[in-house]
């Protein structure tokens, strides 16, 4: 667990919740999604306020948190570095004190994981990691929910991660430990995973492959992400060269399981980390995956604010 104030439950990395809690949250997601799809109002967070802090760009995360809290009866306030005192050097500890006296929940997208931890350590209310350089836990919750929804339990399955050992990859690796599945990772030389940075307990749930085709062979999920994440733009030209052989294409999907799913957190760059044929093809579930950000995060917000509700 992260070093945070006792008594307040935060979601700063995937392993902050247990398998039992994920089982509960995925069940809750199913119910909340069904209510939403049948236009049944459900407002457990009425009069509650979510503050969203963005220090990096976003489409899906902002939209899904803002729409999600409104659909639960609450309100969202958007802050960014440019327009708030955070961009002018106010310590994150001070911001946490103030923001958490005026709200019920905080979501932050920022750079180092340490910033999120400092925010949480000084917050009276739950803090959610909406992406850091190291992790993107809400994304992987949505990805796993999408797999479960379409194919059933993920325990014992194999995920092929092709490309950069970034925040999304690290979170898949943590999820594999918590939910007991396997990750085959293939990165270009020089971009290998760092188990400590990924926050792993051991090495039992992943295997590294020099050849991306071997990583994809027999996989139940094939997934990738941009070659250059936010904050690493200066390395873009070098990365374009280094990652050229790490594209998920139709040939790679053919060596995976015949019913394998293709996932991508989005935004995607067709012709770089994935071919258009794959992301726009029949095995791709990227739009369901993006939509499920909304549903899983509604379950997560409900849980962090209200705890387990009767099901
Ligand atoms: N996948 C994801 O987090 O998308 P955004 O950067 O648009 O929020
Ligand atoms: N790895 C990407 C994910 C974007 C949602 C980034 O950090 O930019």
* pLDDT by residue, tens only, the chain of 311 residues: 345 566 899 999 999 999 999 999 999 999 999 999 999 999 999 999 999 999 999 999 999 999 999 999 999 999 998 899 999 999 999 999 999 999 999 999 999 999 999 999 999 999 999 999 999 999 999 999 999 999 999 999 999 999 999 999 999 999 999 999 999 999 999 999 999 999 999 999 999 999 999 999 999 999 999 999 999 999 999 999 999 999 999 999 999 999 999 999 999 999 999 999 999 999 999 999 999 999 999 999 999 999 999 76
Same domain, 47 and 121: yes
Beta-strand pair 105-109/49-54: parallel
- Domain assignment present for 193: yes
Q: Would residue 6 count as lying in a domain?
A: no
Same domain for 209 and 116, yes or no, is no
302 in any annotated domain: yes
* Whether residue 139 has its Cβ less than 6 Å from ligand 1: yes
Nearest CA to ligand 1 atom 6: 58
Q: Please answer whether residues 126 and 11 qualify as being in contact, where contact means their C-beta atoms are separated by less than 8 angstroms.
A: yes
Cα of 267 vs centre of ligand 1, distance in Å, is: 7
Is residue 241 among the annotated active site residues?
Answer: no
CA proximity to 165, closest of 147, 150, 183, 181: 183
What letter does residue 237 receive in the DSSP assignment? H
Same domain, 276 and 144: yes
Query: Could you identify the atom of ligand 2 that is nearest to the CA of residue 60?
Result: 5
How far apart are the C-alpha atoms of 293 and 178, rounded to whole Å?
20
CB distance 75 to 49 below 8 Å: yes
Which atom number of ligand 2 is nearest to the Cα of residue 58?
5
CATH (domain of 58): 3.40.50.1370
Ligand 2 pocket, 290 CB below 6 A? no
- pLDDT at position 308 is 97
For residue 80, is it within any domain?
yes
Residues 273, 209 share a domain: yes
123 and 64 co-located in one domain: yes
Q: Are strands 105-109 and 127-129 parallel, antiparallel or unpaired?
A: parallel
For residues 118 and 144, membership in a common domain is answered with no
Question: Nearest-5° angle of CA 56, CA 240, CA 192?
Answer: 80
Atom index in ligand 2 nearest the CA of residue 229 equals: 8
Domain total of the chain: 2
pLDDT at 7: 83
What is the model's pTM? 0.97
| 203 ligand 1 Cβ < 6 A | no
CA-closest candidate to residue 128, choices 5, 16, 1? 16
Asked, for residue 8, whether it belongs to a domain, the answer is no
The verdict on residue 1 lying in a domain is: no
225 C-beta closer than 6 A to ligand 2: yes
Tell me, using a 6 A CB cutoff, whether residue 229 lines ligand 2. Answer: yes
Regarding whether 118 and 53 lie in a shared domain, the answer is yes
Q: Whose CA is closest to atom 6 on ligand 2? A: 229
Rounded alpha-carbon distances, angstroms, from residue 244 to 122, 185, 241, 247, 262: 43, 16, 6, 7, 19
The reply to whether 132 and 251 lie within a common domain is no
**So what's the pLDDT on residue 303?**
98
Annotation marks residue 30 as catalytic: no
Tell me, in angstroms, the distance from the centre of ligand 1 to residue 60's CA.
4
d(CA 178, CA 19): 6
One domain, residues 148 and 237: yes
Judge whether 169 lies within some domain: yes
Whether residue 265 has its Cβ less than 6 Å from ligand 1: yes
Distance from C-alpha of 45 to C-alpha of 75, rounded to nearest angstrom: 9
Active site residue 293: yes
Contact criterion met (CB below 8 Å) for 295 and 37: no
The confidence score (pLDDT) of residue 1 equals 39
What pLDDT score does 310 carry? 78
* Residue 295: active-site member: no
Structure confidence at residue 6 (pLDDT): 66
Instruction: Examine the domain organization and report whether 108 and 211 are in the same domain.
Output: no
Residues 132, 243, single domain; the answer is: no
Per-residue confidence (pLDDT) for residue 2, from 0 to 100: 44
pLDDT of residue 96: 98
Distance CA 226, CA 164 (A): 8
- How many alpha carbons fall within 13 Å on the CB side of residue 142? 29
Residue range of the domain that includes 66: 14-136+290-306
Together in a domain, 116 and 155: no
- Are 42 and 32 spatial neighbours (Cβ–Cβ below 8 Å)? yes
Structural domain includes residue 100: yes
Q: Is 220 annotated in the active site? A: no
């Amino acid at each position: 667990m992260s070093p945070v104030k006792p008594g307040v439950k935060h979601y700063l990395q995937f392993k902050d919740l247990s398998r039992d809690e994920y089982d509960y949250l995925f069940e809750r997601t199913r119910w909340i999604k069904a209510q939403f799809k049948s236009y049944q109002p459900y407002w457990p967070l009425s009069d509650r306020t979510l503050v969203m802090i963005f220090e990096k760009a976003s489409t899906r995360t902002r939209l899904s948190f803002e729409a999600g809290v409104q659909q639960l009866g609450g309100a969202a306030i958007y802050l960014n570095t440019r327009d708030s005192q955070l961009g002018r050097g106010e310590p994150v500890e001070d911001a946490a004190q103030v923001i958490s006296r005026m709200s019920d929940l905080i979501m932050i997208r920022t750079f180092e994981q340490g910033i999120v931890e400092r925010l949480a350590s000084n917050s009276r209310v739950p803090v959610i990691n909406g992406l850091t350089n190291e992790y993107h836990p809400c994304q992987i919750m949505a990805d796993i929910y999408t797999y479960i929804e379409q194919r059933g339990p993920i325990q014992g399955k194999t995920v092929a991660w092709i490309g950069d050992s970034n925040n999304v990859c690290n979170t898949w690796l943590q999820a594999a430990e918590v939910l007991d599945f396997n990750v085959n990772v293939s990165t270009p030389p020089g971009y290998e995973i760092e188990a400590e940075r990924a926050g792993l307990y051991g090495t039992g749930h992943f295997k590294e492959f020099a050849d991306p085709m071997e990583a994809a062979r027999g996989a139940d999920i094939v997934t990738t992400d941009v070659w250059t994440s936010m904050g690493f733009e200066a390395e873009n030209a070098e990365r374009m060269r280094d990652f050229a052989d790490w594209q998920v294409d139709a040939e790679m999907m053919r060596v995976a399981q015949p019913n394998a799913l293709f996932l991508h957190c989005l935004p995607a760059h067709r012709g770089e980390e994935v071919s258009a044929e794959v992301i726009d093809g029949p095995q791709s579930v990227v739009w369901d995956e993006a939509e499920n950000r909304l549903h899983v995060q509604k379950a997560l917000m409900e849980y962090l604010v209200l705890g387990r509700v009767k099901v």
